[in-house]
Structures are given as structure tokens and as C-alpha cells.
Chains A and B, each alone.
Chain A
Amino acid sequence: MSNQVVHKSNNNPNLSVKHIGKGSDKSISKYFAYIFLIVLCAIFVIPVIYGITTSFRSQTEVVSTGFRLFPEKWIFDNYVTILTNTSTAPILRWLMNSIFIATMHTILVVIVISVTGYGYSRMNFKGRDTLFFVLLGISFFPGVVNLIPSYKIIDALGWVNTSWAMIIPGLAGMGNIFLVRQFMKGLPKELDESARIDGASDYRIYISVIVPLIKPILIVCALFSFTGSWNDFLWPVIVYTDVEKMPVTAGLLLLQDIYGNYRMIGQLMGSAVLAIIPTLVLFLFAQKYFVQSINLNSGIKG
């Protein structure tokens, strides 16, 4: 794994420590650590593998052979069926909706948090910190209170059953802006000061000096935004009634009824697998930055 390298380099003191003291105690604790991790990994990964392999099983095999991690015979019929069944369970349509929603949302999040983070950390204007902390304080108020009126606002904007209902409201959150602001505050002041002396405007400094430097934190926020948007459940269940327009998470809820009673297990699992792939692929790409920027994030450390 690529991030192993990153982690080790961050952890150098860890590796250079000499083992002083009770050697036996260490090896026992090592075995405990291994057994614990192996058991837990098995518990965490088996459901995923079983779900994936079952999507390649025929219905008769699932019902007749019971629990088995790998299929006797790998078949692709389930995927053919779910991808061509566009009338009752248009999963391709749902996936496209989700991809559009999550991508648009993520792009806009990255723009909004980097621009706003710049404003709160690299610019000087009257009431800057007051404004920031007032908004942050309000945002700690539990979101359940604004759920019902949010629907009303989406309705008033004409966004019920449209992708905007999921793309726009999430941009208002303060969490990512807080992270980006912290990150930007850690960058040396000289960077933009010298650019400013050369006559560069804030717009120019933002684009050519700051954005390239905050790439790692933006990538992590982008990953969180994408998976958050992709996996959101309560909100889409509320704002979508039109089957064609909904994202895949809301769609899967319908599948419980459509393919219900486990008459079509392979199709159910295939649908779940299709809904997992995009976030999984994204995670594998972003993993390196992930570990990096959380290690760098001193705000979270004690």
C-alpha cells in the first residue's frame, strides 16, 4: 500500500525506539494485538466478500448450498438482469443520479470551503473572527431541528425531486470550513505577503499561492463530501418520491420490496455491490492523502 510508506516516515521515532525492559511482555502483547486484529478484520471483511460473491451466484446455489464464501460456479446473470431491468428498478439511472449529485456537490464543496477558508484565515476585515465563531456556534445546534423546514425551503425553491435538493444545502455546513481554516492558518504569512507586495490581488493569491498548498486537505474534504453525499439516506428518502430521479441509496430501499423475500438474492447483492464501487474506488485513490492530512491535522491532536 502506498500510504504505508507515508505512515512509516511520519512515525520514524516509533521505529527507532529500542526495546528496553520486559521482552516477554512485548511478544505476548504482540500476539494479543495480532489475534485481535485478525479476528476483527475477518468480521469486517467477510460480509463485504460474501455480498460480492453472492452477486455471482445463481439463486438455486444460494438457497441449496447454504453459507459458503465463494460460489461453486461464477455467473454474471444477476448483473445482466439488474442492468436491463429498467422498469421497476432502474439502478443504472440511480447510479447516474448519484454520480451527478455527488460529483457536483463535491466540486462545489471544494470551491466553497477553499474560498471561504481563505476569507476567514488569510484576509483581514472587521468582525472576521466574530462572524466565523457565531456561524460555528449556530452550526453546533442539532440538525434535526431544521430538517422539516429545510424540506419546506427545498419545496419553495422547486427543488423537490431534483438533484439540487442534495447538491446545494450541504454546502452551508461549517465542519469542512473549520478544517480548511485551521490548515490555512498554519501556512506561513510570508507567502501571501510577498505576493501582495508584488501587487497581487486576493483573487490572484488565492488561486496561485494558497490553493496549490492546501491540496491534501481539499482532497480529504472532497472524499468526505463525496462519500457523505453518496451515502446520505434520511434526506433523499424525504425529498424524492419520483423513482427515476432518486439517488441509489434511496433506490436500494425500494429494492427491499421489489426483490423482497429473498427471491432474487443475487440481484439484491449485485445492486448493493454496484452502489459500493464508486466510493471504494475513490477511497483507494485518496488513501495516501487521507493518512497524510490527518497526521498533519494538529487541530485534532491533544
Chain B
Amino acid sequence: MKKKLNLAPVFFVGPHVVLFIVFILIPTIYGIYASFTKWNLMNDPVWVGLDNYRTILFDSESTFHVQFTNGLQNTLFFVVLSVPLLIVIPLMVAVALEHKKVKMKDFIQAIIYIPGLISISAAALIWSLIFNKQLGITGNLLGSDTVWAAHQPYAWIIIIVITVWGGAGGNMIIYRASISGVAQDLYEAAEMDGAGAFRKFFSITLPSIRFPLIFTFVMTTAGAFNVFGQPLMMTDGGPQQSTHVLMMYIRQLAFGNGESIAGMASAMAVLLGLVILIISALQYYVMNRNAS
């Protein structure tokens, strides 16, 4: 009897545990291990200790060091540019949508959300047309003769526009659901005291949606560090490697043309992973502390 009872949990939870071990746990451990090796994906990895890390971090002569610092810089630049917009714009939309007198709320919500359903490669084709100097808006309406993808700061503008366009909808829905859950009597009481729209936003709305704000901030930042598709499709890392992000280097080293340098790529991946972990933890810690 008891043995029968013990089998059911294995049936319900077991298959996923196996999937988790095979596709998350083992590759994660192996990825960390591989970062200490010389590995080309084909032969067995050869242990080299901290060599990869030393090269990447300190050997200024090495191309890996140059690639890593350039890639990390560009990635950080992307994070700093995109994350505030991916928080503020969706928040403004959600607040505007919760305005009592605004109509067609769900229609507007759908319009803002739809770009998020479009894959980065399809979106890139469409936006390349928009930014095309002969055919698109920039050439025809703005009268600009510049090939946007080939010049800064336009190359970054393209990447940020397509990122915000595709990413705003998800956060907006979270904010909207959260704001609509804020107790209405708080607003009523504030109105009695003569509070205006701004005061209500900063004193009631923002503190009430603290958790979703922290949640989306941490998730959006972590996601932004993995940026890959937008620069690959829109600028291919150019001009002069200024939009060549770390994920592009990692993929190139591990899976690009020529001999795979998967060990070095793994070390870069671990370093990127560490940056993401540290920044997520810091964000969580600081925001949680400030709020309470």
C-alpha cells in the first residue's frame, strides 16, 4: 500500500526532473567546467585552469580580450539605453490606459502588444524597410540621406527602436493588471485631500505596484544582457564593431566559421552570466531596501 503511494509523485514530478537534469543542470555544470578548458566542441576538453579567464580579462594583446571588452561594453550600453525605456514607456501606457475616461482600452492594448508577437527576424525585415534611405520613413519623411545601420548614433537608435517596439507590450500588460488591482479607496481618499494626477501616481500607484516593478526591472535587465537578434539582423555588429554585442562574439567563437573555440566562448558566457547574476541581485537588494 505504501509503495503504491510513493509511485504517483514519481510519475507526476519525475519526468520533468529528468528533463531538468539533462537540459539545464548538466549543461550548466558542463558550461562552467568547459570554461576552464581548451575545447573545440569535437574533442574532449583539455583542462587549462584559469588560462581562458586570464586571457579574456588581462591579456590586452589578445583578440579575445578585445572582443570581450568591446562586446561587454556594447552590451552594457544596450542595457542602459533599452531598459529604462522598456520600463517607463509601458508604465506610461498602463497609467494612461487606466484613466477612467479613456475608451477602447483593450484595442489599444492589443496594438501595443502585437509587435511582441513578431519574431525578431520578421521585425528586422520590416524595420529595415522603414529605415531604408530610399524607401522608408527616414529617407522620405525625414529627408535623411544616411544609411542608418552604417552610422552612429543611428545604428543604436535603430536597435533601440526595434527593441522597445517589440518589448513594451509584455511589461505593459503586467503593469496594467497590477494597477487595476490597486485599491480604489486609496485614490478616493487622495482626491478628497485634493491630490492631483501626479501626486496620486507617485504616492499611491508607484508604491502599490512595487513588486511588479522590481520583478519587471530585474527580468528586463537580465533579458537585455542576452541581446543578440536585433544587432545581428539590423547592423551586423557595425559600424566599426560598435554594436557587436557579447552574445554575438560568444556564438561566433563557439559555432562560427573555422575551428570552434568553445572553451574560450564558455568562459565569456560564464563571465556574462556572472555579470547578469550580480546585477540582478544588486537590483533586487537596492530596490527592496529603498522601498521598505
- Point out the residues of chain A lying under 8 angstroms from B266, CB to CB: 145, 148-149
Assess whether A75 is interfacial by the CB under 8 Å rule. Answer: no
Interface 9-residue window, one of B60-68, B134-142, B150-158: B134-142
Assess whether A217 is interfacial by the CB under 8 Å rule. Answer: no
How many residue pairs at the A-B interface have CB separations less than 8 Å?
328
Point out the residue from A44, A143, A272, A302 that lies within 8 Å of B212, measured CB to CB: A302
Q: A141 near B277 (CB under 8 angstroms)?
A: yes
Q: A302 near B178 (CB under 8 angstroms)?
A: yes
Q: B114 near A142 (CB under 8 angstroms)?
A: no
Q: Which residues B263-283 have CB closer than 8 A to chain A?
A: 265-266, 269-270, 272-273, 276-277, 280
- Point out the residues of chain B lying under 8 angstroms from A147, CB to CB: 27, 31, 250, 254, 269
Assess whether B50 is interfacial by the CB under 8 Å rule. Answer: no
Given contacts A128-B9, A148-B34, A300-B215, contact A45 B228 (CB under 8 A): no
- Point out the residues of chain A lying under 8 angstroms from B107, CB to CB: 1, 4
CA of A36 to CA of B276, assembled, Å: 33
Given contacts A238-B251, A294-B174, contact A172 B125 (CB under 8 A): no
In terms of DSSP, what is the predominant structure of the interface of chain B?
A: helix
Q: B229 near A7 (CB under 8 angstroms)?
A: no
Given contacts A37-B102, A118-B12, A172-B22, contact A294 B140 (CB under 8 A): no
Q: B16 near A3 (CB under 8 angstroms)?
A: no
Contact with B along A219-240 (1 / 0, CB 8 A): 0000000010011011001100
Given contacts A141-B277, A275-B121, A300-B215, contact A115 B177 (CB under 8 A): no
Shortest Cβ distance from A122 into B: residue: B12
- Point out the residues of chain A lying under 8 angstroms from B126, CB to CB: 47-48, 50-51, 269, 272
CA of A233 to CA of B19, assembled, Å: 22
Q: How many residues of B contact A (CB 8 A)?
A: 112
Q: A148 near B8 (CB under 8 angstroms)?
A: no
| Cβ of A161 to closest chain B Cβ, rounded Å | 13
CA of A276 to CA of B125, assembled, Å: 12
Q: Which residues A234-292 have CB closer than 8 A to chain B?
A: 234, 237-238, 248-250, 252-253, 255-256, 262, 265, 268-269, 271-273, 275-276, 279-280, 283, 287, 290-291
Q: Which residues B35-53 have CB closer than 8 A to chain A?
A: 41
Most buried by A among B27, B137, B211, B265: B27
Most buried by A among B106, B108, B140, B215: B106
Q: A280 near B229 (CB under 8 angstroms)?
A: no
Point out the residue from A11, A123, A173 that lies within 8 Å of B8, measured CB to CB: A123
Q: B112 near A41 (CB under 8 angstroms)?
A: yes
Q: B93 near A40 (CB under 8 angstroms)?
A: yes
CA of A206 to CA of B193, assembled, Å: 52
CA of A37 to CA of B101, assembled, Å: 13
- Point out the residues of chain B lying under 8 angstroms from A287, CB to CB: 106, 110
Given contacts A22-B196, A275-B122, contact A119 B273 (CB under 8 A): no
Assess whether B54 is interfacial by the CB under 8 Å rule. Answer: no
- Point out the residues of chain B lying under 8 angstroms from A234, CB to CB: 226, 228-229, 247, 251
CA of A209 to CA of B108, assembled, Å: 37
| Cβ of A119 to closest chain B Cβ, rounded Å | 3
- Point out the residues of chain B lying under 8 angstroms from A43, CB to CB: 165
| Cβ of A166 to closest chain B Cβ, rounded Å | 12
- Point out the residues of chain A lying under 8 angstroms from B110, CB to CB: 1, 283, 287
| Cβ of A16 to closest chain B Cβ, rounded Å | 8
| Cβ of A14 to closest chain B Cβ, rounded Å | 6
B residues with a Cβ closer than 8 A to A are 6, 8-9, 11-13, 15-17, 19-20, 22-28, 30-32, 34, 41, 89, 92-93, 95-102, 104-115, 117-127, 129-130, 132, 134-137, 139-141, 165, 168, 173-174, 177-178, 180-181, 184, 187-188, 191-192, 194-197, 208-212, 215, 222, 225-226, 228-229, 232-233, 247, 250-251, 254-255, 262, 265-266, 269-270, 272-273, 276-277, 280
A-B contact pairs, 16 of them (CB 8 A): A17-B184, A44-B165, A48-B118, A51-B125, A67-B136, A135-B20, A141-B273, A144-B225, A151-B254, A168-B19, A248-B119, A287-B110, A295-B181, A297-B177, A300-B178, A300-B215
Known: A36-B92, A47-B115, A287-B106. 8 other contacts (CB 8 A): A17-B187, A26-B197, A115-B15, A150-B23, A173-B24, A203-B11, A249-B120, A272-B125
A residues with a Cβ closer than 8 A to B are 1, 3-4, 7, 10-11, 13-15, 17, 19-22, 25-26, 29-30, 32-34, 36-37, 40-41, 43-45, 47-48, 50-51, 54, 62-63, 66-67, 112, 115-116, 118-120, 123, 125, 128, 131, 135, 138-153, 168-169, 171-174, 177, 201-203, 206, 227, 230-231, 233-234, 237-238, 248-250, 252-253, 255-256, 262, 265, 268-269, 271-273, 275-276, 279-280, 283, 287, 290-291, 294-295, 297, 300-302
The 3 closest A-B pairs by CB, nearest first: A119-B12, A146-B27, A252-B121
